[in-house]
Structure 1
């Protein structure tokens, strides 16, 4: 028998899988989902409302009338505002939205009320704004007014939905 050439067999190497790319893709997916979840959270405005919906003292008995500023919201972006009580002072005026409208008025009113409170020995007391949206006003107007409260740095405000007969007549007339 002749010597037959033997076949050369290659060595079988153990299989190794490089997982570096898989780890990179995993981290990218985790970061992607974390960012999308954070962006998907609803954004809202924090409102401080009473726990049980009741006011423990009367609307006027516990508050200095001179600190009250009322904003009435109506349809067609109409704002009517007045200081104090409508039945006592009756000096309402129509204001528009924006920097030279309601924002300027809120800054001025809050400044005057803080000066008044400082003269009484209570320097931290600012304006108390009562926001009254009518049934004809839209949600955007309410959100715009709440934004103006934040911009004017008014800490105390309330959203009230009951109108006095005088206020209803005022909105009908303006």
Structure 2
């Protein structure tokens, strides 16, 4: 008999798959889809008028219009002010002038009324919001003067709107 080489047997390795990474990824995917489904649901904002609670002393539906005052700036230092909306103003449009006895007095009195009104509603410190609308014919100095008046009186909520003047406001600026 011949010397045959012995067969070398290889050792069997224990075949074990590590699934830790796969479990982590699947949990991350589950959490991701749960969050995206929750965020995709439509949200509804409920408008509470107080009518269903029998609220008698609730403010009228458009009570925030009391807080807005519009200042129209025209040519030749013309100023027109009104409170509320242009088609249904709370205070009728009126012409005034620059200075201590003009626009400053109007702004101060209106702001005082609104602060008292807001305090009565339980929201103290909410003064007027002024919308400044310079026309194409007004000058830059008039705009600076109005902003100075805001600073003097302490009105912090104001906005300058350019290139938007409805027909009603154009007629107010054109009238004498």
Same fold (TM over 0.5): yes
Q: In the alignment, does 2:105 pair up with 1:104?
A: yes
State the alpha-carbon separation in 2 of the partners of residues 146 and 63 from structure 1. Answer: 26
Specify the alignment match of 2:5 in structure 1. none
Q: In the alignment, does 2:158 pair up with 1:157?
A: yes
Give 1:62 shift.
10
Specify the alignment match of 2:75 in structure 1. 75
Specify the alignment match of 1:169 in structure 2. 171
* Residues 1-174 of structure 1: pairs in structure 2 closer than 5 A: 64-89=64-89, 91-161=92-162, 162-174=164-176
Residue-pair matches, total: 114
* Misfit runs of 4+, over 2 Å: none
Q: Could you list the per-position Cα deviations for residues 108-133 of structure 1 after superposition, in whole angstroms to 9, with x for gaps in the alignment?
A: 01000101111111001100000000
Give 1:172 shift.
1.1
What do you get for the CA RMSD once the two structures are aligned? 1.7
Higher Rg: 2
Q: Could you list the per-position Cα deviations for residues 82-133 of structure 1 after superposition, in whole angstroms to 9, with x for gaps in the alignment?
A: 0111211271000000000001111101000101111111001100000000
SS at match of 1:86: coil
Change (3 A) 1:63 1:154: farther
SS at match of 1:92: strand
Gaps of 5+ in 2: 1-60
Change (3 A) 1:116 1:63: closer
